[in-house]
Structure 1
């Protein structure tokens, strides 16, 4: 089963996240299938960049969203200026 979830990158006490498509059984930072966005909670306001077309593609193939990615997706829908088309 595929999941769309966050993978933590960045230095200690400086989190930065990638939104990735990955097998559900793999480790948090294991080998992913595709990177479909980024999330930086350290900026004010937090910056979110998502490839909506790729997320829609993977959800059509059966991928499930994690709880946090679902919240980020709904927030990005409310503010489309943070969305990336490519």
Structure 2
């Protein structure tokens, strides 16, 4: 059983590049209601990946804590239901 949830990131600011501290995460595009389907991304052995929906370049940065990003504003926090 997983003890942590998968981090989610967004690119509402339209950045060309977002550094992330996780190689497995969800991309939501822009903040709702302008989001795209929330897709799971796994970098595997690579250190960067481009989201197929919004073309955001995500770059793994081992110096960042898991679930965080540079800029920090790219971390998506879902509104409580």
Structure 2 length as normaliser, TM-score?
A: 0.25
More RCO (CA 8 Å, sep 6+)? 2
TM-score between the two structures when normalised by the length of structure 1 = 0.24
